[in-house]
Amino acid sequence: MKLRRSSAPEPQPAPAAARGSRDGTPDSVLDAAAAIVRALAEAASGGPEPAARLDAWARHLLLLEPAPNARGGAAPTGRDWAGLRRHVVAHVREDRDAVARSMTDLQDAVWLVVDGLSQAIVGDGANDADAAGQLDRLRAAAGGPAAELKATALQTVQRLSEIADERSARQVQLARELGERVEVLRVELDDTRREVEVDPLTKLGNRSVLQRELPRAVQVRTLVDEPACLAVVDLDNFKQINDRHGHQTGDSALEAFASALARSFPRRRDVVTRFGGDEFAVILRDASAEDGCRLAERFLVAVRQLEVAGPRETLQLSASVGIAEAFPGEAADSWFARADRALYEAKAAGRDRVAIAGDDVSAAHSRLAA
């Protein structure tokens, strides 16, 4: 499924003064270029260092901070577009190589399992040939003297017993080795899946997790009549935080915000995700609209108590939340769109509040009154 934000315009604060690019680059171009660089940072693999370098380049574009590759302490006189281009090209190549290495590791782990199975087949084939030879000798001795037949029969029984013991011991050892190899493969797959599905900044699930879990929650809602609630959450005035205090402070605000979100929705079966810059979503299983509203109000209290250190002052944060309860048989896109519209209603009403999707309000009120 594809997540589409509502077409309703978000309430905007009064425009701030332009930054006044020294090299004549329009602010709109700087904003777009920095957004692309930060998107690369959010999707970067290989740990926090590649993301931190890209974030430093974004600050160089927006705030004219020294470029990451700059030498000496002199303030830059212009934006190093050529250096940025070289860094992005190198980053994309490194990211591609990291993915290739990960795939090679997985292929090697799979090959270990295949190799073990092949050895088992070859070993059993050799034992089968040995056993067939013993039986052939016994059949040949059947037409000879009784003493020879008896001796051959005893030898055959003894050898067949040895073959059975060898096969049993080898299969036990093979089972142990295959178990170890399968465990290695499982760990590799789990690590790769977690790396792909975890937002590197907040350590929450990313957009792919939300896109996978939304339809599943709707299916459970339809099949077993278990309520499910979706909360779409935004950090209020995040762009102003970035513009006034810098992206490093913005990242600190996002990390604190995400931590409060995870603490406010602690159940293991709930799905807490970051699917955009300042955009988060929580899927609450076995929860109605009023349950979601109650938990969201608790989250707002936690956010109001956060303090984020900025370069000149300590920042206070707030959040807006849109709540929608899933309808039986509803498409996941429709469910998300209703919660997203409720979010915009909360923003339009002044932010720092929770709004329930219009279709859910009367049902929530009636359940609360019951």
Give the C-alpha separation, 193 to 188, whole Å: 9
Instruction: Give me the pLDDT at residue 125, please.
Output: 56
Give the C-alpha separation, 68 to 84, whole Å: 9
Neighbours of 304 (CB within 10 A): 13
Q: Is 97 designated active site? A: no
**DSSP character string of 6-71:** -SSPPP-PPPPPP---TT---HHHHHHHHHHHHHHHHT--SSHHHHHHHHHHHHHHHH-PPPTT--
Instruction: Give me the pLDDT at residue 184, please.
Output: 67
CATH no., domain 199-369: 3.30.70.270
Give the C-alpha separation, 265 to 247, whole Å: 27
Strand spans (E) along the chain:
228-235, 271-274, 279-285, 307-309, 314-316, 319-325, 354-356
Instruction: Give me the pLDDT at residue 23, please.
Output: 58
In the DSSP assignment, the letter for residue 281 is E
Q: What is the pTM assigned to this prediction?
A: 0.56
Instruction: Give me the pLDDT at residue 95, please.
Output: 74
Which residue type is seen at 85?
R
Instruction: Give me the pLDDT at residue 224, please.
Output: 84
Which residue type is seen at 288?
S
CB burial of residue 330 (10 Å; 0-12, 13-18, 19+): middle
**Positive or negative, the Cα torsion across 253, 300, 14, 31?**
positive
Instruction: Give me the pLDDT at residue 14, please.
Output: 39
Instruction: Give me the pLDDT at residue 104, please.
Output: 60
Give the C-alpha separation, 61 to 38, whole Å: 11
pLDDT along the chain (370 residues), means of 10: 58 43 68 79 70 80 77 69 83 72 57 51 57 62 62 66 70 69 66 73 92 92 89 96 91 96 93 94 95 96 95 94 93 95 96 88 40
| Domain ranges within the chain, ordered by starting residue | 100-197, 199-369
Instruction: Give me the pLDDT at residue 21, please.
Output: 52
Instruction: Give me the pLDDT at residue 153, please.
Output: 62
Q: Catalytic pick from 278, 291, 340, 359?
A: 278
